[in-house]
Amino acid sequence: MSDQTPLTLTAITHPAIDAYCSDYSAQESPTLRKIRLATEQRFPKVHHMITGGLVTAFFKSIIQSTGTHWVLEIGTFTGYSALAFAEALPVKGRVITLDRDPVALAFAQEYWAQSADGKKIESILGVASESLAQISQEISQGIRPKPELIFIDADKSQNLAYLEWAIQNIEPRGNIFIDNVLWKGKVIDPQDSATQHIYKLNEFIKSDPRLHAVILPLRDGLWWLRRAPSADN
């Protein structure tokens, strides 16, 4: 490791290690690359919100090794992770993705239309809590199947509510992921209110007996949550 780029509280993994992992892992598709580069141009201040190639390569492995058909995403932004999910799903698979930002969503739709896999994506524009209330009603009426993978990646202050929804609505053997749960390392010394939200979420998960929980130090930290076997007894 170079002395110029020391590990600090603002980095989970050393940037050179991050780059190495990305280089040696499955690569993003040409359309995902286009979305990533176009997002950098169009949304220069917030383009880092994209989950990125390493995390989505991991999601693709999970989807394909578990035979997942149904994905629900909270937080679409410019559609990078939604299209990555769609690319990994079988032809009859579906991604439902939620966002309240019409500008980002229109941008996403323009790029999804350039990929055959884009047809697997259903986007719902609106405040996520309202969309989720509608979706859970449709699940209970048998109009929609229960999601087999849920990715929570929107407003961090609502993570606990999104998690509770996910626990109630996920397929019993499904996987729940929550992004940014190390918050650039600040969770080990939570000072500001944004970090406090993540800290409280992590404390909650740690002591919730319904969950089998693992934090992966991938990028900004990713919770991988499954229902604990004892929760199904």
Nearest CA-CA partner of 103 in 149, 162, 161, 39: 39
Nearer to ligand SAM by Cβ, of 148 and 220: the residue is 220
CB 73 to ligand SAM: min, Å: 6
CB 46 to ligand SAM: min, Å: 8
Nearer to ligand SAM by Cβ, of 51 and 169: the residue is 51
Nearer to ligand SAM by Cβ, of 81 and 202: the residue is 81
Nearer to ligand SAM by Cβ, of 7 and 106: the residue is 106
Residue indicated by tokens 């690319």: 87
CB 97 to ligand SAM: min, Å: 8
Give the binding site for ligand SAM (CB under 6 A).
Answer: 49-51, 75-77, 80-81, 98-101, 104, 127-128, 153-155
CB 180 to ligand SAM: min, Å: 8
Is the alpha carbon torsion for 113, 97, 127, 206 positive or negative?
negative
CB 195 to ligand SAM: min, Å: 16
Residues 184 and 3: their CA atoms lie apart, in Å, by 20
Residues 118 and 153: their CA atoms lie apart, in Å, by 20
Question: E-strand spans in 3-145?
Answer: 70-74, 94-99, 121-125
Nearer to ligand SAM by Cβ, of 5 and 114: the residue is 114
Task: Enumerate the H helices of 89-210 as residue ranges.
Answer: 102-112, 128-140, 159-169, 193-206
